[in-house]
Chains A and B, each alone.
Chain A
């Protein structure tokens, strides 16, 4: 069980590294949003599941962490969608291959 926790936390950190690189190097608001929305949600869920596997805790505490995971799994894509819609309505121009 502890071995699974180490693997999950390490994989979550790798996914968050991908999120960071995408957020720093992508050329456009929409592509940055793509990197941030997916990698952030998945890495957070994996690290929290790893915490459950790694630490011996009571059932109520594990249930609370599962509640956080459930909330993030629903709420983070919703927030990403709202921000994407706000950028689209506010007139952020998408990046094209021949622009600069």
Chain B
């Protein structure tokens, strides 16, 4: 038995490495392919300006995807991210002085107070998710589905069908301003990605996230406070969404209902297309960055080529499906490699 494990590794070292890396290689290959394809089929695609566009376009998705990466690494899911982004954006606008023509019964407060309240709201909603999943024991899929409705409902009550425009100047700078020609929102997204990467790779908490996702039972038997870790990732997911929501309101120039609906699928797609395992424990921020770029290049590139605009959605769907197939396939390759070690 002991020899067999070693021998298997030795025999297929390179093959085994490739198999283990499928989830990292495949998304990167997809990205290169898409870039090559759009570069050849359009003159306007491969320009510095357009690259900056792509980064700008994926920033909000990116901030949401940071939180979701934590959640999915723990083998949980958060379907409420877009709704929490929406309500947080609306709350920050609700507590900001609006122009007189805006017909919302809002409560103007100083900018920093509005931001603190908005952050508390998304933190609180994340805590509520965490409570439902860890203390009551509701599966995260269902709990966050309910939270999606709750957050949407709160949004509806705040704006009552109206649109607010003003946000605190700090938020509006980060959401729509730039420094040295670089949009602040890209910098914020970059910082979130960087900090998340450092946390996941170099901190004890990050290790626990991977271990809980890799084998929850083993983590519990090792004395890891599994419920705390799962609760924490749900709070992180909600807070990242909230920040994305505030900046998004500034980015769009308005706060209204159903503003972020498409961001739920985009953020999940970015994480999963990047190769982070839906079964937990595998992947990371590096994968999410590649996934974001795949999505960004795809969305942007399809605008540069002559294509039926109505076909665009279908193509996006098919690419997402392909990525999911690769994700499941990579999982299977990995478990095959693992079991071939035994008798």
Q: Do A and B come from one complex?
A: no
A interface residues, Cβ below 8 angstroms from B = none
B interface residues, Cβ below 8 angstroms from A = none
